[in-house]
Amino acid sequence: MTTTQSLVQDWQAKATATDLIASALRAANPHLCAGSGTVVAAKNIRIELKRIYPKTKFSVKTSIYSMGNNVTVSWTDGPTSAQVETIINKYEAGTFDGQTDSYDYHDSAWTDAFGRAKYVSTTRKDSDAAILDAYQRLQDEENLSFLPDGFPFCVETYRLGGYRSLGLNSGYTSLQSLINVRCAQTARD
């Protein structure tokens, strides 16, 4: 047998194994839509997110363009970005390699069964209440007073980046960044 024949047989065996696994995944997940492509992936992302986080309203949008496609998921409060990414990242077709300036596709039985997008991303927004809560928890838990007496915390100032210059610990950390971190790490209903 030639090297070419061996490579073809290896590829065929791998493809058959992937098809069998994809069939098993479809059988194990009858609530998801079977198929390929970005639109199917977006439908399945909606289904999974609604099932796991029924109280949170997600926006799942697709874009299809020359040389690619993407699914963007956005929401306000609710689960953290990391929690949502554990669900949606399995729909990503591969990864971008900045060193070679190329996209590397990865074979996946999951994406063969339930769709894929070249890029999958998240955008979590924080409500005014979440921002105020993060500020209040910082004050209570850290026992720090960030603002001078008579200057109340203002969500609009925060949204405009107005607390970036209000540094702590000799300017190494700002109130803006502390609130950003608190909001990002906190899941809210």
User: Considering the chain, what is the average pLDDT of its residues?
Assistant: 90
- Would you give the DSSP letter of residue 90? G
pTM for this model (two decimals): 0.85
- pLDDT of amino acid 143: 67
HSE-up of 28 (CA within 13 Å, CB side)? 10
> pLDDT tens digits for 110-140?
999 999 999 999 999 999 999 999 999 888 8
- Is 47 exposed, middle or buried, given 0-12, 13-18 or 19+ CB atoms closer than 10 A? middle
Considering only residues 97 and 151, tell me which one the structure prediction assigns the higher pLDDT.
Answer: 97
Contacts of 165 by beta carbon, 8 Å cutoff, 6+ apart: 174
* Length of the chain as a residue count: 189
CB 19 within 8 A of CB 12: no
- pLDDT of amino acid 3: 83
Residue labelled with tokens 């850290």? 142
3-state secondary structure of 17: helix
How far is Cα 138 from Cα 20, in angstroms, rounded to an integer? 51
Terminal C-alpha separation, the chain: 61
Query: Of the candidates 85, 92, 86, which has an alpha carbon nearest to the alpha carbon of residue 114?
Result: 92
Considering only residues 185 and 167, tell me which one the structure prediction assigns the higher pLDDT.
Answer: 185
pLDDT higher than threshold 70 for residue 36? yes
